[in-house]
Amino acid sequence: MPVPLPPALIPFLALLRCPMCRAGLHLDRGALRCPAGHTFDIARHGYVGLLTGTRATSGDDAAMIRARDQFLSTGKYAPIRETLARLTAGTVPEQGTIVDVGCGTGYYLAGVLNQLPGARGLGLDTSVRALRSAARVHERAAAAAWDVFRPFPLADGVADVVLNVFAPRNPSEFHRVLRPTGRLIVVRPTGRHLAELRGQVPGAITIDPDKEQRLHRALTPFFEATDTEQVAYAMSLTGAQALDLVGMTPSARHLNPADLYNDDLLPDQVTVSLLATVYRPRRPRAARRRGAARRDPME
Ligand SMILES: C[S@@+](CC[C@H](N)C(=O)[O-])C[C@H]1O[C@@H](n2cnc3c(N)ncnc32)[C@H](O)[C@@H]1O
């Protein structure tokens, strides 16, 4: 039985492109199809599976998504969501289109859409578990399986805002899908973020001290920063919240489970320290001159 088209996906039909031949897509018997017959199923969980061929090499697994969902539902990261919503509301037209790349469970996209009653959002992620949540997170949020490192399944210049929160980046594709008046908003941790937790949990991954320079090098050919806000606060944690916080990060993959469940190692207070930057796209010719497509692997 064909799955009905999720209502939030309808406004995106005109903006999506076939990932195989770049033609437009239309709805046909519960799937999206292009005129050449390339077909993409709509999962019963409400997201569209545009990712075909070779599997993506990264993406959160079920345990990470469960931990992320549990942790975000505590509201401990609400100040980050509020900052993003405020920065986005300052840049998007009323009927704006927001694309959240590496959207995870859609927590931030939903927060942004709550502030913008006429806007619509599309979350892209490789993780099926994440997409199941993202497809249900908000009535105006659609979700699609996509790998950030491949050309996005979107027409040129259709997005008013691209969000990138703790997720991998593809600067040339961000630039291509943004309108010239659009904005890219990138949220990433500073070296102090969760330092207490990383310091106490053996095997937890560290934050690359060159991270900011790498980000700058990758984005500069395509974007210029217009505004940066710092989000910094002390956050108290229960043992369960600390476990979720570790479990939702790539650190979880590098840890010995015995260490993870040793409550004594986990701090009851940590520092949240992030930067949220708004970027304006450079003019297309300037962007082409300044750089070839670059890949910026991680948040
Ligand atoms: C640290 S999580 C952040 C999720 C979300 N932005 C948030 O902050 O709650 C990184 C997300 O990027 C996704 N991801 C990893 N590699 C990806 C790729 N190549 N293409 C698209 N998404 C990817 C993961 O599945 C995960 O949902």
Ligand 1 pocket member 58 (CB < 6 A): yes
What is the distance between the alpha carbons of residues 33 and 18, in angstroms, rounded to a whole number?
8
Task: Count Cα atoms within 13 angstroms, Cβ side, for 70.
Answer: 18
pLDDT band with cut points at 50, 70 and 90 for residue 56 = confident
Ligand 1 pocket member 130 (CB < 6 A): yes
Residue 33 lies in a domain: no
**29 Cα to the center of ligand 1, angstroms:** 30
Residue 222 lies in a domain: yes
**60 Cα to the center of ligand 1, angstroms:** 7
Domain that holds residue 259: 46-290
Taking only the tens place, the pLDDT of each residue in 195-244 is 998 888 766 777 788 989 999 999 999 999 999 999 999 999 998 999 89
Q: What is the pLDDT of residue 72?
A: 98
Task: Count Cα atoms within 13 angstroms, Cβ side, for 67.
Answer: 21
Structural domains of the chain, count: 1
What angle, rounded to 10 degrees, do the helices at 239-247 and 62-72 form?
A: 130
Residue (of 154, 187, 165, 174) closest to 287 by Cα position: 174
Ligand 1 pocket member 173 (CB < 6 A): no
Residue 14 lies in a domain: no
**252 Cα to the center of ligand 1, angstroms:** 15
**287 Cα to the center of ligand 1, angstroms:** 26
E strand or H helix at 234: strand 223-236
Cα–Cα distances in angstroms (integers) from residue 189 to residues 12, 184, 206, 241, in the given order: 31, 17, 11, 19
What is the distance between the alpha carbons of residues 133 and 43, in angstroms, rounded to a whole number?
12
Confirm if 269 and 235 have CB atoms less than 8 A apart.
yes
Q: What is the pLDDT of residue 58?
A: 86
**167 Cα to the center of ligand 1, angstroms:** 5
Ligand 1 pocket member 166 (CB < 6 A): yes
Residue 207 lies in a domain: yes
Which residues face 165 on adjacent strands? 187
**Helical ranges in the chain per DSSP H:** 62-72, 78-89, 107-115, 128-134, 171-177, 195-200, 211-219, 239-247, 251-254, 257-260, 284-290
Ligand 1 pocket member 168 (CB < 6 A): yes
Residue 9 lies in a domain: no
**CA of 148, closest atom in ligand 1:** 20
- Whose alpha carbon is nearest atom 14 of ligand 1? 59
What angle, rounded to 10 degrees, do the helices at 78-89 and 107-115 form?
A: 50
Residue 180 lies in a domain: yes
Residues in CB range of 283: below 8 A, 6 or more apart: 180
* DSSP 8-state assignment for residue 17: B
Ligand 1 pocket member 153 (CB < 6 A): no
Q: At residue 59, does pLDDT exceed 90?
A: no
Q: At residue 259, does pLDDT exceed 70?
A: no
* DSSP 8-state assignment for residue 207: P
Mean pLDDT of the region 125-137:
97
- Please say whether the dihedral angle defined by the alpha carbons of residues 127, 85, 98 and 185, taken in this order, is positive or negative: negative
What is the distance between the alpha carbons of residues 78 and 25, in angstroms, rounded to a whole number?
36
What is the distance between the alpha carbons of residues 165 and 12, in angstroms, rounded to a whole number?
21
* Average pLDDT score over the chain: 90
Give backbone dihedrals phi and psi of 241, rounded to 5 degrees, phi first.
-65, -40
**299 Cα to the center of ligand 1, angstroms:** 9
Residue 52 lies in a domain: yes
Residue 7 lies in a domain: no
Tokens of 73: 């539902």
**247 Cα to the center of ligand 1, angstroms:** 14
- Whose alpha carbon is nearest atom 1 of ligand 1? 166
What is the distance between the alpha carbons of residues 294 and 172, in angstroms, rounded to a whole number?
7
What is the distance between the alpha carbons of residues 156 and 101, in angstroms, rounded to a whole number?
16
Ligand 1 pocket member 152 (CB < 6 A): no
**116 Cα to the center of ligand 1, angstroms:** 23
Ligand 1 pocket member 167 (CB < 6 A): yes
Q: What is the pLDDT of residue 286?
A: 63
Best substitution site from 126, 161, 184, 186 to test ligand 1's pocket, by max atoms within 8 Å of Cβ?
Answer: 126
Q: What is the pLDDT of residue 50?
A: 96
Taking only the tens place, the pLDDT of each residue in 81-102 is 999 999 999 888 889 999 999 9
Q: What is the pLDDT of residue 199?
A: 83
CATH code for the domain in which residue 173 is found: 3.40.50.150
